[in-house]
C-alpha cells in the first residue's frame, strides 16, 4: 500500500514544486501574475471542450513516440532516436499509401501502418544491433540515426517520391482524402489517440503478464545473470528496440494519415523528442505515459494563450517542460525516504 | 434628401445580419474591437521572415478599434490548426493571418471549412478561385524585383566579381531570388558569378555560418541570402569585412559597414488594406499580389559603402521596373547547364505563371538545384 501511495505522492510533489518554481520565475523574471498565468493555462488546456480536444490532439503523437523510449528502457537501454523512427515511418507510410492508393480505404490504412511499423522498427533495431554486437552506445547512435532519417526524408520528399505539383513545399504524392483515418465520432480528435492508448495497454499486458516481458526486466536488471539463465539477450534487444521503433513509426503513419495527407518536412517537428520527455516523466511505465502525454499536450495547448494574453515568449512553456523534467528526475531520490516502512518496526 | 434617411426596418435588419455574417458586429460598436490573429512559424524578432510580418502587425496594433493577437513558433502541423481555432474560439478573432507558406494546405483550408464566417488570408500566392473557399485568400509579393536591385548594387560594389547566395531549398520561390539577384549583377557586369549554397532548411544557423565562411574563403566579397533569418549570414559576413544584401526586413543594424541594400517585404500595405476593407464592410480581396510598383516589396536604404555610380544604376533600374520598361527575365536566357530556358525574343512580365515553377539556375550561378 505504501508503495502505491508513494508512486503517486512523489510525482505529485515534483509537479507542485515545478509549478511553484515556474510561478516564481513568472513573477520575478517575466513580471507576470503567476495566478493569472495558471488560470490561463487551465483555460487553454482543459477549460473548455475545445481546449480539451486541443490537448488530446497534441497528446496523441506523444503517447506513441514515448513508447519508443519506454520499451527499450525496460531492459536498461536509453533510446532517444524516436524522431528518426517517426520520420522514417511517416515516409514509409506515405510511400505505401500511394502505392496501393486505389485499394479500399481499410486496406490502404493497414498497408500504411504495417509499412511504417516495419521501417520504424528496423530503424531502432539497428541502434539495438549496433549496441549488442558492436558495442556502440545506443543513446548516441539512435540520436545520430535521427539526423540520417531526416536527411533521407528530405531526399525522398525532394527526389524520388516528390509530387511535382508541390512547388514551394516539397511533399510526396497525397494518399487521397478517402484514405485518411478521420476523427473520433463527435470530436475533433483523430483516431491516433485511441491507437496510442491501445498500444500502451498492450505493452502493459505484455510487460506484466508474459514471460517475454519478464525476460526483458531480468535482462534490464542484470544482463550477465540473464545470459547465465540462458536468455538470448541479443534477440530481446532487437525485440524491445524493434517494438519501440514500430510504435514511433506508427506515430509517423498517424501524422500522415490523420493530419498531413502526405509526407513532408512537417513530420520532423519534435514529437519524437517530446516523447523522450514523456517516457522519463512516466518513469517508462506504459500506463503512466497516457496521463503524462495529456499533461504535456495541455501545456502545449495553453502555450499559445500565454503568448497572446500575457505577451510571454514561446519559450515560457519550454521552460516549464524543462523544470518538470528536472524536478521529476530529482524526485527519483525520494523513493523509499518519505516514509519509514512500518512493517519493519 | 429626406428619402435617404428613411431606411426601412427590413433593410436595417438585413444590414445587421450581413455585418454579423462577416463577423463585424463590433464594426459600429466601440466596445467590441475587431480581433485579428497573426501566426508566425519562427520567433517574431528573427531579423527575417517573421519579423517582417510582426513589424506590420505592430502598425495594426496602433490602429483604433483593433485588437491584434500574435503567436510565434507555431509549426506547420495540426498545431497551427489548433492555434487558429484557439484564436477564433477563445479570443474571438474574425480575421486570421497564418503567415508561413506551409500553413495553407491542408491546415488552413481545413479550419476555414469549419469556420465559414471567419476570414483567413494566407501569405504565399496559393489561393485559386473555384478551388479554394471564398473565406480564404492569398497575398504575396514579387520580391525578386527587389533582389534584382540588390544584385545591381552588389555587382557595382564587388571587386572580385564573385557574389555569394546562401539559400534554404531549391524551390521556385528561392530560385527566382537567386536568379534575379544574379541577373541584376550581370546587368552591370556580365562576367559576375554567384556562388550558391543550399543549406537544406529554413533555419539552420550553423550551416548558414559555415556556408558564408566557405564563400568568403573562396573570394566572394558580397553575399545575399534566402533563409528565414538572415541574421547569421549578415553578421558572419560583416565580421569578415565583406558586403551584404539583406532579405525579408532591414538588417542594416547588424552590419553598419558592409550592408549595401536589401529586398524587404512591406506587409503593412497589405494588412492595412485588408483591415480597411473589413471596416468599410466591403468583402475582403481573395488574391492580392504585387511588387515594387504596388509597394508590397521595397529596397533597404543604401548603406555607406554604396558608390554614387551604383546608386545611379540601381535607381535607374527601379524607375524602369516601376514604369514597366524593364523585364528581369527575358530571352535569350540560358541556365547554368547550357540549356536555353527563355528563347530569344521572349520576355516575361513578373506575373508570368511560368516563373512560378522555375527549376533552374541561370548562367553565371555556380551551384546545382539537386
pLDDT above 70: residue B15: no
Residue contacts between A and B (CB atoms, under 8 Å): 84
Strands B297-299 and B259-265, sheet pairing? antiparallel
| Shortest Cα–Cα distance, B322 to chain A (Å) | 27
Residue pair B334/B341 in contact (Cβ under 8 Å)? The answer is yes
How sure is the predictor about A325, in pLDDT bands with cuts at 50, 70 and 90? confident
- pLDDT tens figures, A34-55: 999 999 999 999 999 999 999 9
Mutation target among B73, B78, B370 for the A interface, most CBs of A within 10 A: B78
**A chain contacts of residue B102, beta-carbon cutoff 8 Å:** 169, 264-266
| Lowest-confidence region among A189-193, A212-216, A339-343 | A339-343
pLDDT above 80: residue B28: no
User: What's residue B31's pLDDT?
Assistant: 57
pLDDT above 90: residue A317: no
Q: CB within 8 A of B367, min separation 6: which ones?
A: B195, B196, B197, B198, B336, B361
Binary contact (B200, A300; C-beta < 8 A): no
User: What's residue A168's pLDDT?
Assistant: 82
Percent of chain A with pLDDT over 90: 71
Q: Is the dihedral of CA B155, B156, B162, B166 positive or negative?
A: negative
Residues of A with CB under 8 A from a CB of B: 43-44, 48, 50-51, 54, 57-58, 151, 154, 158-159, 167-170, 255, 259-261, 264-266, 269-270, 300-301, 304-305, 307-308, 313-314
Strands B333-334 and B340-342, sheet pairing? antiparallel
- The larger pLDDT score, comparing residue A118 to residue A230, is at A118
Distance CA B180, CA A182 (A): 44
User: What's residue B289's pLDDT?
Assistant: 92
pLDDT above 70: residue B10: no
| Shortest Cα–Cα distance, B303 to chain A (Å) | 32
Distance CA B76, CA B228 (A): 14
DSSP annotation of A116 reads H
pLDDT above 50: residue B181: yes
User: What's residue A340's pLDDT?
Assistant: 61
Residue A21 CB neighbour total at 10 angstroms: 16
Least CB–CB distance from B172: residue in A168, A305, A314: A168
pLDDT above 80: residue B140: yes
- pLDDT tens figures, B326-352: 999 998 999 999 999 999 999 999 999
User: What's residue A97's pLDDT?
Assistant: 96
Binary contact (B171, A301; C-beta < 8 A): no
pLDDT above 90: residue A221: no
- pLDDT tens figures, A266-310: 999 999 999 999 999 898 999 999 999 999 999 999 999 999 998
pLDDT above 90: residue B12: no
How sure is the predictor about B2, in pLDDT bands with cuts at 50, 70 and 90? very low
Lookup: cell for A48 = 473548455
pTM above 0.90, yes or no: no
- pLDDT tens figures, B280-297: 888 899 999 999 999 999
Binary contact (A259, B82; C-beta < 8 A): no
**A chain contacts of residue B170, beta-carbon cutoff 8 Å:** 158
pLDDT above 70: residue B325: yes
- C-alpha distances in Å from residue B253, one per residue of A61, A209, B237, B261: 42, 65, 13, 12
Average pLDDT along chain A? 91
Distance CA B67, CA B83 (A): 17
Q: Which of A306-320, B119-133, B309-323 has the highest mean pLDDT?
A: B309-323
Residue B256 CB neighbour total at 10 angstroms: 10
Mutation target among A61, A158, A168, A321 for the B interface, most CBs of B within 10 A: A168
Binary contact (B71, A307; C-beta < 8 A): yes
User: What's residue B23's pLDDT?
Assistant: 42
Binary contact (A169, B102; C-beta < 8 A): yes
Binary contact (A259, B77; C-beta < 8 A): yes
How sure is the predictor about B9, in pLDDT bands with cuts at 50, 70 and 90? very low
pLDDT above 80: residue A203: yes
User: What's residue B256's pLDDT?
Assistant: 96
Mutation target among B41, B49, B77, B357 for the A interface, most CBs of A within 10 A: B77
User: What's residue B25's pLDDT?
Assistant: 42
User: What's residue A311's pLDDT?
Assistant: 86
**A chain contacts of residue B74, beta-carbon cutoff 8 Å:** 304
Angle made by CA atoms A131, A136, A137, in degrees to the nearest 5: 85
What is Dmax (Cα atoms) for chain B?
79
User: What's residue A23's pLDDT?
Assistant: 92
Distance CA B68, CA B308 (A): 42
Angle made by CA atoms B259, B268, B55, in degrees to the nearest 5: 55
Helix (H) and strand (E) counts in chain A: 13, 0
| Mean of pLDDT values over A243-247 | 97
Lookup: cell for B9 = 426596418
Percent of chain B with pLDDT over 70: 92
Least CB–CB distance from B69: residue in A48, A301, A308: A308
Binary contact (B370, A307; C-beta < 8 A): no
Angle made by CA atoms B251, B259, B191, in degrees to the nearest 5: 125
| Shortest Cα–Cα distance, B70 to chain A (Å) | 6
**B chain contacts of residue A308, beta-carbon cutoff 8 Å:** 69-71, 87, 91
Return the residue of A nearest to B88 by Cα: A50
Domains and CATH numbers, chain A: 10-334 (1.10.3470)
Residues of B with CB under 8 A from a CB of A: 43, 69-79, 82-83, 85-87, 89-91, 101-102, 106, 124, 169-173, 200-201, 356-357, 370
Mutation target among A270, A308, A311 for the B interface, most CBs of B within 10 A: A308
Binary contact (B101, A58; C-beta < 8 A): no
| Lowest-confidence region among A113-117, A118-122, A134-138, A341-345 | A341-345
pLDDT above 60: residue B16: no
Distance CA A81, CA A86 (A): 9
Distance CA B98, CA B121 (A): 7
ipTM: 0.87
Distance CA A127, CA A113 (A): 22
Three-state DSSP state, B242: coil
Return the residue of A nearest to B37 by Cα: A308
Mutation target among A304, A307, A319 for the B interface, most CBs of B within 10 A: A304
pLDDT above 80: residue B8: no
Burial category of A152 from C-beta neighbours within 10 Å (exposed 0-12, middle 13-18, buried 19 and up): middle
Binary contact (A169, B171; C-beta < 8 A): yes
Least CB–CB distance from B76: residue in A51, A54, A266: A266
Q: Which of A131-135, B102-106, B179-183 has the highest mean pLDDT?
A: B179-183
Three-state DSSP state, B261: strand
Element (H, E) at B140: strand B136-141
Return the residue of B nearest to A61 by Cα: B78
How sure is the predictor about A341, in pLDDT bands with cuts at 50, 70 and 90? low
Binary contact (B169, A167; C-beta < 8 A): no
pLDDT above 60: residue B13: no
Q: CB within 8 A of A236, min separation 6: which ones?
A: A75, A212, A215, A216, A219
Residue pair A53/A189 in contact (Cβ under 8 Å)? The answer is yes
Helix (H) and strand (E) counts in chain B: 11, 17
User: What's residue B3's pLDDT?
Assistant: 40
pLDDT above 80: residue B7: no
Binary contact (B75, A266; C-beta < 8 A): yes
Return the residue of A nearest to B171 by Cα: A168
How sure is the predictor about A345, in pLDDT bands with cuts at 50, 70 and 90? very low
Q: Three-state secondary structure along A33-69?
A: CHHHHHHHHHHHHHHCHHHHHHHHHHHHHHHHHHHHH
| Mean of pLDDT values over A226-235 | 89
pLDDT above 90: residue A222: no
| Mean of pLDDT values over B194-203 | 94
Element (H, E) at B150: helix B144-157
Residue pair B214/B197 in contact (Cβ under 8 Å)? The answer is yes
Amino acid at each position: 500500500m505504501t508503495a502505491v501511495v508513494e508512486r503517486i505522492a512523489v510525482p505529485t510533489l515534483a509537479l507542485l514544486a515545478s509549478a511553484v518554481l515556474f510561478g516564481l520565475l513568472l513573477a520575478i523574471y517575466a513580471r507576470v501574475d503567476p495566478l493569472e498565468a495558471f488560470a490561463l493555462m487551465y483555460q487553454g488546456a482543459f477549460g473548455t471542450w475545445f481546449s480539451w480536444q486541443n490537448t488530446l490532439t497534441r497528446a496523441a503523437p506523444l503517447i506513441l513516440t514515448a513508447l519508443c523510449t519506454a520499451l527499450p528502457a525496460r531492459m536498461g537501454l536509453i533510446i532517444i532516436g524516436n524522431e528518426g523512427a517517426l520520420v522514417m515511418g511517416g515516409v514509409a507510410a506515405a510511400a505505401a499509401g500511394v502505392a496501393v492508393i486505389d485499394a479500399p480505404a481499410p486496406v490502404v490504412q493497414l498497408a500504411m501502418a504495417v509499412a511504417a511499423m516495419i521501417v520504424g522498427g528496423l530503424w531502432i533495431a539497428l541502434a539495438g544491433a549496433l549496441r549488442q554486437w558492436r558495442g556502440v552506445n545506443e543513446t548516441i547512435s539512435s540520436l545520430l540515426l535521427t539526423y540520417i532519417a531526416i536527411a533521407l526524408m528530405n531526399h525522398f520528399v525532394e527526389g524520388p517520391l516528390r509530387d511535382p505539383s508541390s512547388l514551394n513545399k516539397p511533399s510526396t504524392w497525397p494518399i487521397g482524402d478517402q484514405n485518411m483515418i478521420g476523427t473520433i465520432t463527435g470530436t475533433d480528435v483523430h483516431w491516433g489517440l485511441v491507437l496510442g492508448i491501445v498500444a500502451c495497454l498492450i505493452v502493459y499486458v505484455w510487460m506484466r503478464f508474459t514471460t517475454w516481458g519478464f525476460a526483458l526486466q531480468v535482462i534490464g536488471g542484470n544482463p550477465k545473470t540473464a545470459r547465465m539463465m540462458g536468455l538470448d539477450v541479443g534477440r530481446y534487444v532487437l525485440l524491445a528496440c524493434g517494438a519501440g521503433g514500430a510504435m514511433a513509426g506508427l506515430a509517423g503513419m498517424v501524422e500522415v494519415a490523420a493530419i498531413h495527407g502526405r509526407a513532408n518536412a512537417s513530420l520532423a517537428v519534435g514529437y519524437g523528442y517530446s516523447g523522450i520527455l514523456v517516457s522519463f516523466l512516466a518513469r517508462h511505465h506504459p500506463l503512466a505515459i497516457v496521463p503524462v502525454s495529456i499533461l504535456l499536450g495541455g501545456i502545449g495547448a495553453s502555450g499559445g494563450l500565454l503568448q497572446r494574453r500575457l505577451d510571454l515568449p514561446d519559450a515560457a512553456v519550454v521552460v516549464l517542460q524543462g523544470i518538470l523534467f528536472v524536478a521529476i528526475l530529482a524526485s527519483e531520490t525520494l523513493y523509499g525516504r518519505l516514509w519509514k516502512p512500518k512493517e519493519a518496526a | 434628401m429626406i428619402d435617404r434617411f428613411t431606411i426601412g426596418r427590413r433593410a436595417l435588419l438585413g444590414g445587421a445580419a450581413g455585418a454579423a455574417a462577416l463577423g463585424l458586429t463590433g464594426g459600429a460598436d466601440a466596445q467590441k474591437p475587431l480581433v485579428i490573429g497573426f501566426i508566425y512559424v519562427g520567433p517574431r524578432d528573427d531579423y527575417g521572415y517573421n519579423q517582417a510580418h510582426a513589424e506590420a502587425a505592430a502598425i495594426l496594433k496602433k490602429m483604433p478599434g483593433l485588437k491584434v493577437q500574435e503567436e510565434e513558433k507555431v509549426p506547420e502541423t495540426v498545431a497551427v490548426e489548433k492555434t487558429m481555432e484557439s484564436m477564433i474560439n477563445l479570443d474571438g478573432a474574425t480575421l486570421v493571418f497564418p503567415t508561413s507558406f506551409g500553413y495553407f494546405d491542408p491546415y488552413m483550408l481545413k479550419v476555414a471549412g469549419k469556420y465559414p464566417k471567419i476570414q483567413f488570408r494566407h501569405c504565399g500566392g496559393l489561393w485559386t478561385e473555384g478551388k479554394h473557399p471564398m473565406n480564404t485568400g492569398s497575398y504575396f509579393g514579387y520580391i525578386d524585383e527587389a533582389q534584382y536591385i540588390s544584385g545591381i548594387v552588389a555587382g557595382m560594389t564587388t571587386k572580385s566579381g564573385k557574389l555569394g547566395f546562401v539559400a534554404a531549398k531549391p524551390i521556385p520561390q528561392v530560385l527566382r531570388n537567386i536568379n534575379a539577384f544574379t541577373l541584376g549583377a550581370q546587368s552591370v557586369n556580365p562576367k559576375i558569378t554567384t556562388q550558391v549554397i543550399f543549406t537544406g532548411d529554413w533555419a539552420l544557423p550553423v550551416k548558414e555560418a559555415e556556408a558564408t565562411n566557405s564563400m568568403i574563403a573562396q573570394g566572394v566579397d558580397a553575399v545575399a541570402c534566402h533563409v528565414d533569418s538572415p541574421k547569421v549570414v549578415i553578421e558572419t559576413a560583416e565580421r569578415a569585412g565583406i558586403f551584404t544584401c539583406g532579405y525579408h526586413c532591414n538588417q542594416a543594424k547588424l552590419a553598419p559597414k558592409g550592408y549595401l541594400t536589401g529586398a524587404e517585404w512591406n506587409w503593412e500595405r497589405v494588412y492595412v488594406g485588408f483591415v480597411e476593407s473589413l471596416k468599410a464592410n466591403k468583402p475582403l480581396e481573395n488574391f492580392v499580389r504585387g511588387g515594387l510598383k504596388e509597394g508590397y516589396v521595397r529596397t533597404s536604404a543604401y548603406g555607406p559603402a554604396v558608390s554614387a555610380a551604383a546608386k545611379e544604376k540601381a535607381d535607374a533600374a527601379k524607375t524602369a521596373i516601376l514604369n514597366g520598361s524593364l523585364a528581369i527575365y527575358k530571352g535569350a536566357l540560358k541556365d547554368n547547364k547550357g540549356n536555353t530556358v527563355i528563347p530569344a525574343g521572349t520576355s516575361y512580365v513578373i506575373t508570368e505563371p511560368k516563373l512560378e515553377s522555375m527549376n533552374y539556375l541561370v548562367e553565371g550561378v555556380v551551384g546545382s538545384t539537386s
